[in-house]
Structure 1
Amino acid sequence: MSAVRTHIRAVAALAALAALATGCGSAPSDDWSRPRPAPSAVGSLGPGFVDPSAPPTPEGTVTPRPGSWDGVHPPRDYRVVLLSAGDDAPTRALVAAVRSWAAAEHVDLRTVTAAGEADLVPAITRALDLHPDLVISAGDALVDPLAVVTANHLAQQFLVVGAELAEPTHNVTAADWSGASYRGEGLGASSNYDAASFTPQRCDAAIRAGAAAVLTGLTGIVVWLA
């Protein structure tokens, strides 16, 4: 009997240590296993984000007035997966901006990082398997794989920042600007690439404007920051 009790105490101690280790990290507030209704935006878009008399068409581009997205916020514990690929300076800037936005908005954030070219599609699959409210993609290397995968997962919302898909489905929204508009599929960028344009301020605006579009149902479009 004493041996059994010793074993139980050891298992309990290991469980406690595991819980402590989880608590010391950026653990989500729940395990994401419970289904829930689609989250709604907190607040509303300001004047100039879109023209109410001419809503954007699928695959269309809108150029919102700067700051017109400031009144829109995700609900607390909005479930987001940050999917990234690459260690170049622009990708690092985007990743940092997503993390900062998530902390400021009390977003429940998890991260999936592709470990090289062979892991791009598997990384997208890992992100999908988490069933988040939104997948945010950072890194040009993900554009072509996303173009293939996203069309087969229309119930999942995606936000591509600092790049865009050439022919996005209604569940893929992009936020980019002059200097950051890679489109993949051999098309290159719709503007001259400029790594220096990935400033903290520009990346933050792209995250906020893109998330505001998704949260208010303006999906499948390109949000172009002037």
Structure 2
Amino acid sequence: MRHPFRAVAVLAAAAMLITGCGSGDDWSEPHAAPTPIGSLAPGFLAPSASPAPESTITPAPGSWSGVHPPAGYRVVLLTVGDDAPTKALVTAVKSWAEAEKADLRTINASAHDPVPGISAAVGLNPDLIVSAGDSLVDPLALVTASHLDQQFLVVGAELAEPTANVTATDWAGASFRGEGLGSATSYDPASFTAERCDNAIRAGVAAVLHNVTGVIVWLS
């Protein structure tokens, strides 16, 4: 299903910077579906029922810390912006990838038109696309619903109406939603601490690996 789109994405990729680190495997080769290492601890999910689509879950702090991706987990970090919160998120994602031995590639999309960058990320066919930067929220809303077999994780922001393949990790000091909703009144750039951003990527990946997707993972 992705082959025609992938051709467009390859052309789009030529117009932006794509950098990579990790195992250096050829991503065009067959790749088994990722299996998480470790399990979610009690308190990550309510014991009564699975979360409904577009709902918000508030996991207990650290309930995700026992979950790790398999080595070589293919991740594209899609980012726009050089503001302090975005830089903090990018640093956290790169540090997480290095620690977990994930195979990370980074796409610095154009702030003027991020859609080609998103297209290039999807065309790489990664296990997960991680988005960092508020200006990606609205463009992601245009693209993600057309690629339901691709998992996305938005850190430090959220889509107003996410599809089942879009998960977000957010907190009171972040909460950018797009579609004209903008930032919450509680928005605080200082809340993007190294610890908070690290928790955001780890909790989000833990949710995706355990198929808890299409929800907002709210960090208390």
Q: TM above 0.5, one fold? A: yes
Unpaired stretches in structure 2, ≥5 consecutive residues: 1-19
Select the residue among 136, 141, 148 that pairs with 1:147.
141
Question: Quick one: distance in 2 between partners of 1:43 and 1:128?
Answer: 27
- Within a 5 Å distance, the mapping from 1:89-168 to structure 2 comes to 89-118=84-113, 120-168=114-162
Contact 1:181–1:191, Cα closer than 8 Å, also in 2: no
Query: Is 1:85–2:80 an aligned residue pair?
Result: yes
Select the residue among 172, 178, 186 that pairs with 1:178.
172
Deviates more, 1:182-191 or 1:80-89: 182-191
* 1:116 Cα deviation from its structure 2 partner: 2.2
Question: Quick one: distance in 1 between partners of 2:159 and 2:130?
Answer: 13
Contact 2:22–2:72, Cα closer than 8 Å, also in 1: no
Which structure has the larger Rg? 1
- Within a 5 Å distance, the mapping from 1:45-60 to structure 2 comes to 45-60=40-55
Deviation digits for residues 145-185 of structure 1, max 9, x if unmatched? 00010000000000000000000000000001011010000
* Identity of matched residues, %: 67
The 3-state SS of whatever aligns with 1:160 is: strand
Bigger RCO of structures 1 and 2 (CA < 8 A, at least 6 apart)? 2
Contact 1:81–1:127, Cα closer than 8 Å, also in 2: yes
Unpaired stretches in structure 1, ≥5 consecutive residues: 1-24
Contact 1:173–1:210, Cα closer than 8 Å, also in 2: yes
Count of matched residue positions in the alignment of Structure 1 and Structure 2? 201
The structure-2 alpha-carbon separation of the partners of 1:60 and 1:108, relative to structure 1 and needing over 3 Å to count, comes to: same
Instruction: Let me know the Cα RMSD of the aligned residues.
Output: 1.1
TM-score w.r.t. structure 2 length?
0.89
